[in-house]
Amino acid sequence: MRLALVAGETSGDLLAGLLLGGVRERWPGAQACGIGGPQMQARGFEAWWPSEKLAVRGYVEVLRHYREIVGIRRQLRERLVQGPRPQLFIGVDAPDFNLDLEAGLKAAGIPTMHFVCPSIWAWRPDRIEKIRRSVDHVLCIFPFEPQLLQQHGIAATYVGHPLAQVIPMEPDRAAARRQLGLAEHAPLVALLPGSRQSELQYLGERFLVAARLMARQRPEVRFVLPAVPSLRAQVDALVQASGLGDRIQVLTGQSHAALAACDATLIASGTATLEAALFKRPMVIAYNMNWLSWQIMRRKQLQPWVGLPNILSNEFVVPEYLQDRATPEALASATLRWLDDTAAVAQVQARFADLHQQLSRDTPRLATDAIAQVIKA
């Protein structure tokens, strides 16, 4: 068994790592190569490029890295086509990179699969034809997606969300705090400004100013900020400049421990918001990006929500503050409300528990069953 995979950024690396765990269990001698990160490499993946190379969001931001990204995609396609060829290529999320790559590989006779359906139900419905042209099968992490794809003649399987199996239904807050060396009863806010350089640029200082405002109003509140290893130095510099002193603890990785330990989180829109929901943590979702990128994305948005917990719930279960509304004052005020309103917290935790049940499936088995069908193994 020889597979090729591409996963961009931290969330894709995590999902692909879980998928590779299932592949290894079913086909112990399987080999996998392509673009990936530490979670994939821990399962024997041969990374020709690191996943951080694709960790860019926003139209203007992508343009700055366009030549490098296109060059990597071209080199990867040539290497896979020239051989030894994989039996299957699996693109994990990163649709802007992977769909074009998949189209080229499929045209060259290599079967293709995409893990995580592009959010055609949220924005860019024009992608549906591109998906049909590019992939043989889509592994969907949300239950409503296969029917939508099948209406357009695209084979798809609902495999549940891998994180719903990894994250416990009842996270142990006390154990997480002991693991991180945090006080057991002090109010704790997790700051998650994102795992991309561009997100840290637009949200890092904003989140820390919000934290400083919270600390002024509630001196007993403490903060924890998990940083991806490649951005740790920049995060440390921002924290040092924030004046928060010993009130904030920066972690290398360990975002799950931070979410398990906290009482509430101020968090960038993205996959991490779903992780926070699975940890049953109330949150304030924020996003800010280059002005031109925001204008383009806003015109393509199909739903009133951007946060995954709200999209899956079809309502504003948790607040969202986007672009100009994402002021430090607004973020601080909304986050502190979660620390004071126990009834609202209990209500949102019940909603998130229901969501966890909906997303919990035997993902490795369902995914490898679909892989076996595509490659006739």
Write out pLDDT tens, residues 282-334.
999 998 866 676 666 666 655 566 888 998 888 899 999 988 899 999 999 99
Strands 222-227 and 137-140: unpaired
Q: State both tokens at 4.
A: 């090729």
Cβ-defined contacts of 66-72 (< 8 Å, 24+): 69/97, 72/35
Select from 55, 93, 57, 53 the least CA-distant residue to 72. 53
Other beta carbons within 10 Å of 32: 25
pLDDT at 287: 86
Other beta carbons within 10 Å of 74: 12
In what order do the strands lie in the sheet containing 46-50? 46-50, 31-36, 2-7, 88-92, 112-115, 137-140, 156-158
Q: Please name each of the domains of the chain with its CATH number.
A: 2-160+361-375 (3.40.50.2000), 173-359 (3.40.50.2000)
Q: State both tokens at 239.
A: 């924290």
Give the model confidence (pLDDT) of 182-201 as tens digits.
998 899 999 999 888 888 88
Q: State both tokens at 181.
A: 């060396």
Higher-pLDDT residue of 144, 222: 222
The residue assigned the tokens 């990179």 is 97
Q: How confident is the model at residue 14 (pLDDT cuts 50, 70, 90)?
A: confident
Decide if 136 contacts 374 (C-beta within 8 A): yes
Decide if 19 contacts 110 (C-beta within 8 A): no
**φ and ψ at 351, to 5 degrees?**
-65, -40
pTM here is: 0.74
List the beta bridge partners of residue 75: none
pLDDT at 284: 97
Residues 295-313 as b/e (b if ≥16 CB within 10 A, e otherwise) read eebeeeeeeebbbbbbbbb
d(CA 201, CA 217): 26
Decide if 224 contacts 261 (C-beta within 8 A): yes
The residue assigned the tokens 């126990």 is 342
d(CA 209, CA 327): 9
pLDDT at 144: 86
Give the model confidence (pLDDT) of 28-80 as tens digits.
999 999 999 999 999 999 999 998 877 655 544 455 666 888 899 999 999 99
**φ and ψ at 281, to 5 degrees?**
-105, 130
The residue assigned the tokens 């995590």 is 14
